[in-house]
Amino acid sequence: MGLEFVRDGEVGRLTFTRPEKKNAITYEMWSAIPRLVAEVERDPGVKVLVLTGAGGDFSAGADIGEFGSLRSTAEGATTYDKAVEGAVSALTGLRKPSIAMIRGNCIGGGCQLAVACDFRFAAPEARFGITPAKLGIVYDFPSTRQLVELVGPAHARYFLLSGLLVDAARAREIGLVNDVFPDVESEVDSFARTLCSRSQSSIRGMNRIIEKILAGQGEADAEVDEIRAAAVHGEDYAEGVAAFLERRTPRFSYR
């Protein structure tokens, strides 16, 4: 299918496995991502999801070779776009932290999925671009909003209107990636372990609140109040305070 999911301790790794096609994403792959992300959300043993590509590339984007058969009509384009939007929505809505580990090309739909992750770490040779203007496609609203929120409207216009690529240093400069590392895999592993060591109730609660803010919510609501109240009365809060006072590493509950 072109996707592989493996569990490495508390970290789940979802890998694009079409290196001969620069990990271009097929309709089947787009359609499978929501199911795999849902499995990560349900699995209590997985605390972090890492999204990456096999070989030298993250992903060069959607498999354009399918467009003639799958996007040749308005109905086909709508069906295809729903699969893309479903994959992006699944990553966006994941309460557990997601990390895009990026090498080589991160272009088009590949960059779209990376932006949907919570964190993006890149190797120095990585390149980034979003290319709908080269195909006569208008980017969907949720992904456009995510890009604008991440890099601002001026940089979003640069990507979307020009279709030009930028290198990893420039991507970091404008906030598209969190950081650039020569040994990106080692750094991502270390950061994932850090996330695994933190309070999972805190992480998932804050991730949900951030999601609501990015969706345009301006004030706390009943769900936010419930998240915060549950944290104050939860085991992790008691353990975190006790560990701080006793000057030891906290042993948070496994959830």
CB under 8 Å to 163, separation ≥6 — which residues? 129, 130, 131, 132, 133, 134
Q: 11-16 and 3-8: which strand pairing? A: antiparallel
pTM over 0.95? The answer is no
User: What pLDDT score was predicted for residue 254?
Assistant: 57
Note down pLDDT in tens along the chain; length 255 residues. Answer: 899 999 999 999 999 999 999 999 999 999 999 999 999 999 999 999 999 999 999 999 999 888 878 777 878 888 989 999 999 999 999 999 999 999 999 999 999 999 999 999 999 999 999 999 998 889 999 999 999 999 999 999 999 999 999 999 999 999 999 999 999 999 999 999 999 999 999 999 999 999 889 888 899 999 999 999 988 888 887 888 888 888 988 988 755
Phi, psi angle pair for 251, to nearest 5°: -115, 85
User: What pLDDT score was predicted for residue 64?
Assistant: 87
Torsion angle defined by CA atoms of residues 82, 119, 94 and 189, in that order, rounded to the nearest 10 degrees = 120
User: What pLDDT score was predicted for residue 224?
Assistant: 93
Residue 209 · residue 224 · CB < 8 Å: yes
- Residue 6 structure tokens: 């493996």
In one-letter notation, the amino acid at residue 216 is G
Instruction: Tell me the pLDDT tens digit for each residue of 144-187.
Output: 999 999 999 999 999 999 999 999 999 999 999 999 999 999 99
Residue 138 · residue 89 · CB < 8 Å: no
CB under 8 Å to 97, separation ≥6 — which residues? 47, 48, 49, 118, 119, 195, 203, 207
Block residue for tokens 């001026």: 154
